[in-house]
Chains A and B, each alone.
Chain A
Amino acid sequence: MINFSDLTFIFRFLPVFLIVYYLTPIEFRKATLLLGSLVFYGFGDLRMLPVLLGAVLVNYFFARALHGSGQNKFLLAFVVFLDVVMLVEFKLLSQFVDSSFMPIGISFFVFKMISFQADLYQGKVKNTPKFIDTAAYFTMFPQVVSGPIMRFSDFERHKENRTILEIFERIEDGLKFFTVGLGMKVLLADHLAMLWNDIGTIGYESISTPLAWLGAVTYSLELYMDFWGYSLMAAGIGVMLGFPFITNFDHPYASLSVSEFYRRWHASLGSWFRDYVYIPLGGSRKGSLRTVFNLLIVWLITGFWHGVTLNFILWGMIIFLIIVCEKYIVQKLPGVLRWLIGKINVLVLIPLTWVIFAIPDSQMLATYFTRLFPFFGAGISVNPNDFAKNVGIYGILIAVGLVLLIPKVYEIFENHRRNIVVTIAVFVLFWACVYSLANAAGNPFMYFRF
């Protein structure tokens, strides 16, 4: 139920919550949001609900102190330290003891808490924060599981929907974003995941080189559709509740460099690192060496944030290297060459970095790369027809995914979403998703067919 692409969420939690939320008098709606979010979290991970509650209370306590203290650096450092220790501790516990020690969404709500404290310190939060508001901001169910890491200033931009028409206009609009996101997740990502899984089943040592590349493309698309879809769903729910639309993905694959890619990919995380790590470290204002060092810190932490295993650190380091090369070499090249290298970096190197992201086992990762670049060794029991077979099965899905990389396609929906044809298309998409989910829900044999 804690998953947006779950029928019980779509047809039970969300409608019930919306009804209760909008029946609540305006001044108490934040309280309804807080309560609903705690119920939502409790359904997902009741055992870890106290962790979330504890983090909320501690952070609120410090926020009050920080707000009245007038830029007390020590206080800020202390509460950020507490938050970081909590996050690191749970990450290590879940990695080395038992994966069930990972409270759902901790990476996201802790980052929200840190940004809140830093914003308070910098005086970006004018009024003394109220407990209900702060707690609702930290825990709000559209964001608690996987972000976006919304800033408190955006939370404050919340507009109360006062009239009935206003309410339904917002619900309609949010529902459209939600549905498009749902489609990306359910119809594309979840099915592309099956191909990536099939490749594992075959064994990386036995895939043909074309299939290895197809796999890299598929995994990249899966990750993108999954996370972009999730972010659209989260933003859509936010819109239904009166929050501004949070753009978390802004057509990253249309970027002309890797650093641009990461401004447009998971943008709320990228800007978090920019505002709360990179710039406080001095950003690019303290000379080249210091800039490189600051980037290194940012990407080390980014890697660690995604996961504790070595591959994530490696992934972060490679992105770091590419970005440094871009900054100090590619930038100085003539226009056409710069454009070309930038495109290659985004469209070829990025998918390869996702392969590193995807495979935690270094031995298996090395095997995968020898299949991508077969000059380093031959495969075992490779079936050369595997590429044609999988293109036959997944070709259409991959093609649809690739078409969605073109910014214009999504923009048509975004700009014409009140158009009747688009509305009907989204309505059909909604039921297509439900159809797919209904045939999979509670039916382990749908996705696990042998």
Chain B
Amino acid sequence: MKFFKTCPMFIAIVVSSIFITTVAVVFANTVYADYKEGYDPKKAPIMVLPIRGATEGVFPWNYVPEAEQPSPEVPGSIDELLKQMQEDTVVEGPQEEPEEVVIEETVEEPEVDISAGDVSANDVELVEEKIYEPQEVTPEYFDDALFIGDSRTVGLSEYCQELDEHATFYAKVSLSIYTVMKKEFIKTPEGTIGVEEALSNQQFGKIYISLGLNEIGTGTDEYFVEHYMEVVNRIRELQPDAIIYIQGIMHVTERKSNSDKNFNNVNVDRRNAALSQLADNQNIFYIDMNEAVDDGNGNLDGSLSFDDIHLKASSYQLWYDYLRLHAIVKD
């Protein structure tokens, strides 16, 4: 008793630490299996597992073993998804496209013809597709545009006044392709809602997606693109008439790229290459603003950024200008 009175807090901390560590060890391979994957015993004591679990509401008492869990929707492989995607567009294609398409195509420059030829060689039906060329637009183009993205898009909304006055933004710091449809972050007078609900309430003419940096250190490229495709498909279902822009992930600066094993431009370029494959150039377009902020060596120009990841406020204009000059107009 005297001992307890001497150091009550010390005893409480020792006892609670032992308790949490025991919980961590006992449930490491069951309840906390997900957290154990990214856990490095050299860098932190094992008690971080239950604490990280608790942060996300995972406790031993609400744990459902894998076998009893209802099997989650198994996403198809990327190839299947891409095929499904193309089929979708083929079905809708003819309804949307007027006849004059073919005329325009013949006017195109030869190099475009070659690429068009490539596509049509794979799939005869695609011959009917219209070729859209990016063109310059006025700010009013963005009146029915929606921007979905992470902190970089937040910055675009905050520091590009003209765009902010015209467009709608569903952007949030740390948003990723895995969380974009799950998090409820869109503020409305009736409360905070998720992207799905918001897109059911209002139709947009253009939807710009800019995601992919936060999750660059996690999962495989295939897994990432699969999820990206799922999100795009879901948005297409909710907004069948909208032009969807998949924006390539903006590079980081050379300094960051050379020093970070996750956030480097090799990773960004690989993911962008995969993302660009998701475009069908009919309803879904891939645009890459990196050329507007490039340092000449495939990195974000260091003078445009302070933290090597985000554009400085005064540099967002470059991104906006790029968007204005590379818009798709459907008549």
Contacts and interface: CB of A to CB of B under 8 A. Distances in A.
A427 B12 CA distance: 8
A206 B313 contact: yes
Nearest to A202: B313
A450 B38 contact: no
Interface in A418-435: 420, 423, 426-427, 430-431, 434-435
Contacts of B313: 202-203, 205-207, 380-383
A434 B51 contact: yes
B264 to A, nearest CB: 13
A387 B305 CA distance: 21
Given A431-B16, A444-B217, A449-B151, A172 B7 contact: yes
Contacts of B310: 201, 450
Nearest first, the 8 closest Cβ-Cβ pairs linking A and B are A206-B313, A203-B312, A172-B7, A449-B174, A438-B51, A438-B48, A442-B43, A441-B44
23 contacts: A7-B48, A8-B42, A11-B17, A169-B6, A171-B7, A175-B10, A205-B312, A206-B159, A383-B313, A385-B158, A386-B158, A389-B158, A431-B16, A435-B51, A435-B54, A438-B47, A439-B51, A439-B55, A442-B40, A443-B38, A444-B262, A445-B214, A449-B174
A8 B312 contact: no
Contacts of A153: none
A435 B54 CA distance: 9
B312 A427 contact: no
Contact of B173 (A430, A439, A441, A450): A450
Given A171-B7, A442-B44, A381 B314 contact: yes
A176 B9 contact: yes
Q: How large is the interface on A (under 10, 10 to 19, 20 to 34, 35 or more residues)?
A: 35 or more
Contact of A449 (B10, B173, B262): B173
Given A427-B13, A449-B151, A205 B314 contact: yes
Interface in B10-35: 10, 12-13, 16-17
B17 A201 contact: no
A183 B314 CA distance: 36
Interface string A301-327: 000000000000000000000000000
Contact of A172 (B6, B39, B43, B55): B6
The CB with the most chain A CB atoms within 10 A, among B44, B174, B317, is that of B44
A25 to B, nearest CB: 22
Interface residues of B, number: 49
Contacts of A24: none
B76 interface: no
B317 A381 contact: yes
Nearest to A199: B306
A28 interface: no
A423 B13 contact: no
B13 A450 contact: no
Interface in A20-60: none
Contacts of A380: 313-314
A445 B48 contact: no
B159 A381 contact: yes
A445 B263 CA distance: 11
Contacts of B217: 444-445
A209 B15 CA distance: 50
Given A11-B47, A434-B51, A200 B2 contact: no
A12 B45 CA distance: 8
Contacts of A176: 9
Contacts of B7: 168-169, 171-172
B159 A7 contact: no
Contacts of B9: 172, 175-176, 423, 426-427, 430
B52 interface: yes
Contacts of A8: 42-45
A200 B317 contact: no
Interface string A381-398: 111011001000000000
Contacts of B98: none
A399 interface: no
Given A381-B317, A441-B43, A442-B40, A206 B214 contact: no
Contacts, number: 129
Contacts of B48: 7, 438, 441-442
The CB with the most chain A CB atoms within 10 A, among B16, B312, B315, is that of B312
A165 interface: yes
Nearest to A430: B13
A389 B151 CA distance: 14
A11 B45 CA distance: 7
A122 interface: no
Given A442-B48, A450-B174, A206 B314 contact: yes
A207 B312 CA distance: 10
Contact of B6 (A165, A175, A438): A165
Interface string B200-237: 00000000000001100100000000000000000000
B78 interface: no
Contact of B307 (A201, A385, A430, A441): A201
A200 B40 CA distance: 32
Given A442-B43, A450-B150, A450-B174, 4 more contacts: A423-B8, A430-B13, A434-B47, A441-B48
B316 interface: yes
A331 interface: no
A100 interface: no
A176 B100 CA distance: 79
Nearest to A449: B174
Nearest to A417: B9
A229 to B, nearest CB: 18
A197 interface: yes
Contacts of A450: 150-152, 173-174, 213-214, 309-310
B3 interface: yes
Contacts of A389: 158
B306 A201 contact: yes
A234 B12 CA distance: 22
Given A206-B159, A427-B12, A197 B52 contact: no
A418 to B, nearest CB: 9
A206 B312 contact: yes
The CB with the most chain B CB atoms within 10 A, among A176, A441, A450, is that of A450
Interface in B314-331: 314-317
Contacts of B213: 450
Interface in B281-318: 305-307, 309-310, 312-317
A385 B154 CA distance: 13
B173 A172 contact: no
B144 to A, nearest CB: 24
A203 B10 CA distance: 46
Nearest to B10: A172
A442 B217 CA distance: 13
Contact of B52 (A11, A206, A439): A439
B2 to A, nearest CB: 7
Nearest to B12: A427
